[in-house]
Amino acid sequence: MTQHYAPGTHPDLPPPSNTVGPIHWLRVNLFSSIPNTIVSLIAIYLLIISVPAAIDWLFFKATYVGESRNDCARDGACWAFISERFQLFVYGFYPQAERWRVDLSAVLLGVAIAAVLWQNMPGRKWGLIFAAIYPFLAGWLLTGGMGLTPVDTNDFGGVMLTVVIGITGIAFSLPIGILLALGRQSDLPIIKYFSIGFIEFIRGVPLITLLFVASTMLSYFLPPGSNFDLLLRVLIMVTLFASAYMAEVIRGGLQALPKGQKEAADSLGLNYWQAMRLIILPQALTISIPGIVNTFIGLYKDTSLVVIIGLLDVLGVGRASVSDTAWVGLSTEVYLFVAVFFFITCFGMARYSLFLENKLNTGHKH
């Protein structure tokens, strides 16, 4: 059956036909053995009975507009509630007249994120400078002052609050985490032990505890009468919390690099910060991307813990809405909505990280 060729003349042949194609895929992946076949059949059966019913409830029998629970069909989802309250979900209690500032911040956030994520953006250098000042610009836009009507941070809520906490944590925890990771490896004992002490303390305490400290205890330490914004305290705590984890993720990346990289940089006369910025960190951060994005996602989802100290993020608004008497019994829809919101953003981050890993891996993988 196999044909033989003289040495050195063997042509490239296509693979045998029974190793490619959909039938082959099914045979190998779903029906390769009797137990495998049984499991596959059970799984297919469960999908057939559950998926159409779920789709029916979610979409075909659902009600999309209405004034109260009574307008909704009984055997379908009641999205009318979400669309009624959509503004609340997005803006929280931000004053109606000032909501353009939230919208503007969101658009500018899009620009800043594009600059950070899109390597070939035209004028990326300016985009990155803009991204660096964006957190402060957005802080001014959202809280007001200096020509804008001040808005109390107690009025922040919903998606907007979640994004504010998440983006602040992400934007500041990476640089602080890098500094802590470098500090932990420092030759200077004070810097080294401060970094270790900070990281281990923060990692040893649950975030909720830190948030309680932020909401109650800090006022004992601060001079009486000083009014230190609750949201700002929460932002600081969330950022510090994520920084400690970030530092450990990055330390893993630093340790994975061969010692020779730093030695080569030293021998060429680069100083410490040049060696870190140009040689060590680009490689260590690339290795750490999965861990960094994992920490980002964890931080982003942890923002919903602020409900406990009375801030109403997406989940908080959802929970508050469930107790509305006009819309009783809608918790499934509300929590599904919140879950989908978190899933879309977190899944987006995860996909981007995969994309980035693949991109950075090409060209110089050993």
Interacting residues with another protein (CB under 8 A): 258, 260-261, 263-271, 274, 278-279, 282-283, 286, 363-366
**Considering the complex, what minimum distance in angstroms separates the CB of residue 251 from another protein?**
19
Among candidate residues 61, 83, 35, 67, the one with its CA nearest the CA of residue 334 = 83
Dihedral sign for Cα atoms in the order 305, 308, 311, 317 = positive
**Considering the complex, what minimum distance in angstroms separates the CB of residue 254 from another protein?**
14
Between residues 24 and 277, which has the closer beta carbon with respect to another protein? Answer: 277
H helices of the chain, in order, are: 22-29, 34-55, 80-84, 86-91, 99-117, 124-143, 158-184, 189-203, 207-212, 218-221, 230-256, 259-267, 272-274, 281-302, 314-322, 331-361
Distance, in Å, from the CA atom of 237 to the CA atom of 3, rounded to the nearest integer, reads 71
Distance, in Å, from the CA atom of 146 to the CA atom of 167, rounded to the nearest integer, reads 23
Distance, in Å, from the CA atom of 194 to the CA atom of 101, rounded to the nearest integer, reads 40
Burial group, residue 63, by CB count within 10 angstroms (0-12, 13-18, 19+) = middle
**Considering the complex, what minimum distance in angstroms separates the CB of residue 272 from another protein?**
9
**Considering the complex, what minimum distance in angstroms separates the CB of residue 287 from another protein?**
10
Distance, in Å, from the CA atom of 127 to the CA atom of 116, rounded to the nearest integer, reads 8
Between residues 47 and 264, which has the closer beta carbon with respect to another protein? Answer: 264
Between residues 278 and 340, which has the closer beta carbon with respect to another protein? Answer: 278
Which 3 state secondary structure label does DSSP give 305? helix
Between residues 149 and 274, which has the closer beta carbon with respect to another protein? Answer: 274
Among candidate residues 297, 302, 299, 307, the one with its CA nearest the CA of residue 158 = 307
**Considering the complex, what minimum distance in angstroms separates the CB of residue 134 from another protein?**
27
Cα radius of gyration (the chain): 27
Between residues 231 and 287, which has the closer beta carbon with respect to another protein? Answer: 287
Between residues 103 and 266, which has the closer beta carbon with respect to another protein? Answer: 266
**Considering the complex, what minimum distance in angstroms separates the CB of residue 258 from another protein?**
7
Between residues 74 and 365, which has the closer beta carbon with respect to another protein? Answer: 365
Between residues 87 and 274, which has the closer beta carbon with respect to another protein? Answer: 274
End-to-end CA distance of the chain, in Å? 40
Between residues 137 and 270, which has the closer beta carbon with respect to another protein? Answer: 270
DSSP state of 309: G
**Considering the complex, what minimum distance in angstroms separates the CB of residue 282 from another protein?**
5
**Considering the complex, what minimum distance in angstroms separates the CB of residue 252 from another protein?**
17
Distance, in Å, from the CA atom of 75 to the CA atom of 315, rounded to the nearest integer, reads 25
Distance, in Å, from the CA atom of 254 to the CA atom of 256, rounded to the nearest integer, reads 5
**Considering the complex, what minimum distance in angstroms separates the CB of residue 278 from another protein?**
6
